Structures are given as structure tokens and as C-alpha cells.
Chains A and B, each alone.
Chain A
Amino acid sequence: MSLVDVLNVTKEYADGEETIRPLDGVSLSIEEGDYVSLMGASGSGKSTLLNLVAGIDQVASGEIIVGGTDITKLSRGKLADWRAAHIGYVFQTHNLIPVLTAYENVELPLLLLPMSAAERRKRVEIAMQAVDLTSRASHYLRQMSGGQEQRVGIARAIVANPTVVVADEPTGSLDDETTEQILQLLSRVNEELQMTLLMVTHDANAGARARRQIRLERGRLHENGQETKASPLRTA
């Protein structure tokens, strides 16, 4: 079994009288340590799939198994606990808490885990070092650039050592130079910290940095020109 198995997942929602189905029976497997980019046109459902894997949205049918847990079966409360322990989320617009300093923002996910203050401090310092922002630890968002904010966002996503880091258009609001820095940082997260990474992007250049590139078209996933399947079928 892979680290992440998306099995025959359908997602639909109502838009007035019409039922929209952005994902129609998609299947996908992600191995531990993979760096996967998910691309597709706007509205193709790539962020929807990422949100389902991250456990912040619900499937209409199908299963999503991450690290052996079928997250579609978890209650809201249990799913929240699961996210705290297993998911690091990098947002397009950073979504840092403006009243907290960079350090406090990075520390936030650790407050939800059973951990001593000393252990928390150690982990935050390591994460801040990884994104090269130790000198900005006490700064607030208004004192940082967009690129620095995104680095804080990445530090927050990796600090709890999650099973999967998901990134939704992480370079979507950045200039070219900063985009390059952030992509390099994400590659380091995958290679040096050996974290599994699933990134949604509409930017082909950004997507090409990942080891696996998957496209989402008309509710179906394609990799290397073929529709993807979940691991048991893929290996068959």
C-alpha cells in the first residue's frame, strides 16, 4: 500500500439546479517521499483533490487512505486531530495569523500536539532555520515581504514533521525571483527532510520541478498521458 491512496473518489456539489462534478471517480497513489505536482486548468478540480487529501473537504464517494487511515470515515473532531498530526498545509496566500509573530505562527500547529515547551522551541527553531528566517522570528507579517511570509508558511507546514505536506498554488502570488526561491525551498523540503509533497500549481515550470507530474482534465487524472490508478491496480 502507498502512503496516500485516493480510491475512486468523486466530488460533487450543487450549483443551483445543476450538479457540478469536479472529480469523477479519480484514483491516485503517492509513495512515501514522492514530490507530486498536480496541474490543470482553472476550475479543473485540482485544489479540490488537494483539499480532500488534506482532510478539509468531504468526498461524495470513494476512499482516501493516508498512512493506513481512511480519512473519509473520520468524524470532524477526529479529522482535525488527524490533520494536526499528519498534514502540513501551505496556502497560496500564506494565511498566517496577523496578530502573531513569525515564531508564534510556526509554533501554532505544535500547540495542538502533546509536547513540552522545550521540545516545541527546538522544533520551531529547526523549522525557522530550514527556511532561513531565524533572524525574523520576532517579526510580524506587516514587517515581512510576500516571499518571507510564504517561507514562514512553509516552516509552519513542516514544523510538526507531517506525513504529507500539501501546497495549494504556493507561488501563485509571488514574483518570478521569489517563486524560484520558494520552489527551491520546497525541493529541499522533499529531498533533505524527505517529506512527501503534493503541490497544486497552474504554472507548468513550477510543476516540472516535481518528480511526478499529474494533470487533471475533465474530472480525470492523467500521468505520462495515461489515466492514473490507485496502487493495487497500478502494480497489477
Chain B
Amino acid sequence: MFNFIPYVLKSLWRHRARTVLTVSGTAVALFVFCFIGAVQQGLLALTDGEDAGRTLIVFQENRFCPQSSRLPQDYESTIAKLPSVQDVVPIKVFTNNCRASLDAIVFQGMPPEKMKAWRDINLTSGDWSSFGQQDDAAIVGKDVATRRGLAVGQKFTIGDISVVIRGVFRSPVAAENNLIFTHLDFLQRARSANDVGTVTQLEVHLGDTADPDTVAKQIDQEFRTGPVATTTRTKGMFQADTLADLAELIGFVHWLGYACVGLVLSLVATTTVMSVQDRIKEHAVLQTLGLRPLRVFRLVLAESLLLSTLGGILGVAGSALLLSLTGMSVSAEGVTIAFEPSFVLAVQGVLVAIAVGMLAGLAPGWQASRTEIVPALRHG
């Protein structure tokens, strides 16, 4: 069979316009398929991530946008006293756009020592000491830095907030690469004096034996009669609630991913059928020379497989390249879904392309292998 690979390649090259169009159509479809997969993966990482079920987020009751949640900062010490609470991180969140946006800027202000303790971030440029020494210093996630062209030493202003970039970081949690971290007190003072002493949310880290639902209820019960009532959920649930509208949209969009697979199937199948119909006589000649019908079937399948796989590889590579170079994300109400390219997704995309290529070649391959030689030799 491998002896015939040059024949297969030359046959594809003979109709290069058709081949190029099919490969590029497949590439575009697989690009979209992987892009949608990356969005879904980003959403899944937020709602099913490692700490999504073991970390609680305390937010002001009945508030959704970070700008409208203003918890007294001293809630932190009250919560910290609860049994099985390991630590509490006070966070001030500022975003320039509460609605869904592809280029929202999200600041999170928190004490530097807690940032170091609870955020797995590595500075790729800049240093911690200059961040610690300067009140309006910020460290920027790599994806925001790429998107906005930010570098260490630059001043970055958006709305009322103006920071000096003292570091660019990379985090294994893709969504965090879209954040800008500042000092808590800086962000509290940055917009208005009224925000001093308030935080947007409290991040509660639980001990290994704690039951998150029980602790969440305890927290809400504690502040039921306080100055500001709270709603406490696991981080995963908080993010899922916050992104509920987007999640619904993404859930719908994933059908478009399947539609892309269908598109590739029909595109490659159409091209292969055309190729087989163009070469009815050629296949009859090959059979006359002694090619078994099964071998003719395999030749057609190989053509279809090559078209689809080549397109798939290009589409997957294109989407991985775009996603890793641009660091795209979508944010809503201060929560960011990072469009994460991954090796698993790339392999999945290529496997889909291979499977579709094989499927697309079945019918034309069968048709070619069942050709009656003598009538086919009279063809064209």
C-alpha cells in the first residue's frame, strides 16, 4: 500500500486548486472547532478547577457586578476565627466593563503576602521587591500584557486607575494571566475615599476536613444581621453564577463546533466523490493491472484522509498559534474566561479530522472499489 503513496500525492496535486480549497476549508472549520473547544475548556477550568470546590467566595448579597459589592474589610477577621478556615484573602476588584467583553481590564487588589501565598504566579520580567516598595505598582498577567502591549516600567491608565507596571507574570491558571494585581489599599483609595475599608469579596481558604457548604452557611448566618449581608459560594459556583449568561451562550456555541465537523465531513466527502467520479476509468485501469478492489478502496480512503488530516493539522496549529500569541479571553463582571489552547485539545482536533477523513472516504471508496471494469474502461 505504501508503494502507492506517491500516486495518491500526485493525484491530489493534479487537482491542486480543488485540493487547496478543500484543505483550507477543512483548516478553517477545524480552527473554529478548536477555538470553541478552547473557550469551553476555559469555562470548565473556572468551574471545575482544582480550588473551585475548596475555596469560598464571600460577596455582598444580591450584588453581581464587582463595583456594587462593598463588604466591610473587618469581616475578614470574623471569618478567619471560624473553625476549619485556613486563611481569608480580602480582594478589591475593579473592572472597566462589567458586561461581557473581549477586552475587559480586571484589577485585583490584595495584600502582597497573601498574593504570594495563594496565587501560583511566576514573574517573567520585573521583580517582587519593586512591586512591594511602590504603592501604585502593579504586576500584569502575560495575556493582558500581550493584548495591551504592556512592559515593565510603563505607566498604564484606565478610567480612574493609574498604575506603574513592576512585573509581568505567568500563571498555570489561564484566567489569572488576564488579571492585573495591585496593592489592596491602593485600589481601595484609587476611585473614591468611600471605598477605604471595604473590599469586593473575601476569598476563604478551607482546611482539608472542612465541608464547604456548611462553612458557607455559617458565614452568611454570621452576617445576616450585620451592616452588609453576604452570599457565600464555592469559587466554582460563584464563577458559574457570575458567568451564567456567557455559559449558556458558550453551551449553544459548542453546537457550532459539531456543525464545523459536519462541514468538514461534507466538504471532504464532496471532494473525494468528485475525484472518484473524475477517475472512474483510471480506477478501472488500476484494477485491470491487478489492483484488488479493497486496495482501490484504501487508495480513495488515503486521499480523503490526507485532505482532512492536512486541513485539520493546519486548522489546529492556526488556532493554537492565535490563542497562544494573542491571549484572548472574555470577561463578565470581573470574572475572566481565558481561551486556553492545550495539547489535549490539539490532539482531539487532529483525531476528529482523521475520523472525519475516514468517514468521508467510505462511500466514495466503496463506489470506486465496486466499479465494473469493462463499462468503466469505456467511460470518458
Residues of A within 8 A of B (CB): 51, 54, 56-57, 76-77, 80-85, 87, 89, 91, 95, 97-100, 104, 108-109, 111-112, 156
Kindly identify, within residues 250 to 284 of chain B, every residue whose CB is under 8 Å from any CB belonging to chain A.
Answer: 281-282
Q: Is B246 an interface residue (CB 8 A)?
A: no
Cβ-Cβ contact count across A and B, 8 Å cutoff: 65
- Tell me the dominant secondary structure on chain B's binding face: helix
Most A-side CB within 10 Å, residue of B11, B285, B288, B377: B288
Top 7 A-B pairs ranked by shortest CB distance?
Answer: A84-B290, A99-B10, A111-B3, A56-B373, A80-B292, A83-B290, A95-B285
Q: A209–B358 Cα gap in the complex (Å)?
A: 51
Chain B residues, CB < 8 A from A89? 288-289
Q: How far is the CB of A189 from chain B (nearest CB, A)?
A: 17
A99 with B14, Cβ < 8 A, contacts A57-B373, A57-B374, A76-B293 known: yes
15 interchain pairs (CB within 8 A)? A57-B373, A80-B287, A80-B293, A82-B290, A89-B288, A89-B289, A95-B281, A95-B285, A97-B7, A108-B7, A109-B289, A109-B290, A111-B3, A111-B4, A156-B289
- How many chain B residues sit at the interface, stated as a range, is 20 to 34
Chain A residues, CB < 8 A from B322? none
Q: How far is the CB of A39 from chain B (nearest CB, A)?
A: 20
A83–B374 CB distance below 8 A: no
Chain A residues, CB < 8 A from B7? 97, 99-100, 104, 108
Residue on B nearest A99 in the bound complex, by CB: B10
B289–A84 CB distance below 8 A: yes
Residues of B within 8 A of A (CB): 3-4, 6-7, 10-11, 13-14, 281-282, 285-295, 373-374, 377
Out of A51, A81, A84, which one reaches B374, CB within 8 Å? A51
Given A84-B290, A112-B289, 20 new contacts (CB under 8 A) = A56-B287, A80-B293, A81-B292, A84-B291, A85-B290, A87-B290, A91-B285, A97-B282, A97-B285, A97-B286, A98-B14, A99-B10, A99-B13, A99-B14, A100-B7, A104-B6, A108-B289, A109-B289, A109-B290, A111-B4
Residue on A nearest B292 in the bound complex, by CB: A80
Chain A residues, CB < 8 A from B377? 56, 91, 95
Chain A residues, CB < 8 A from B373? 51, 56-57
Chain B residues, CB < 8 A from A81? 290, 292
Chain B residues, CB < 8 A from A100? 7, 10
Residue on B nearest A96 in the bound complex, by CB: B285
Q: How far is the CB of B371 from chain A (nearest CB, A)?
A: 11
Q: A95–B285 Cα gap in the complex (Å)?
A: 7
Q: A88–B261 Cα gap in the complex (Å)?
A: 45
Chain A residues, CB < 8 A from B374? 51, 56-57
Residue on B nearest A78 in the bound complex, by CB: B292
Out of B4, B6, B288, which one reaches A83, CB within 8 Å? B288
Q: How far is the CB of B17 from chain A (nearest CB, A)?
A: 15
Chain B residues, CB < 8 A from A84? 289-291
Q: A97–B292 Cα gap in the complex (Å)?
A: 17
Q: How far is the CB of B162 from chain A (nearest CB, A)?
A: 66
A77–B293 CB distance below 8 A: yes
Most A-side CB within 10 Å, residue of B4, B11, B287, B374: B374
Chain A residues, CB < 8 A from B286? 97, 108
Chain B residues, CB < 8 A from A95? 281-282, 285, 377
Q: How far is the CB of B157 from chain A (nearest CB, A)?
A: 62
Chain B residues, CB < 8 A from A77? 292-294
Chain B residues, CB < 8 A from A111? 3-4
Chain B residues, CB < 8 A from A99? 7, 10-11, 13-14
Q: A100–B6 Cα gap in the complex (Å)?
A: 9
Residue on B nearest A85 in the bound complex, by CB: B290
Q: A95–B374 Cα gap in the complex (Å)?
A: 13
Most A-side CB within 10 Å, residue of B11, B291, B294, B295: B291
Residue on A nearest B3 in the bound complex, by CB: A111
Q: A111–B286 Cα gap in the complex (Å)?
A: 11
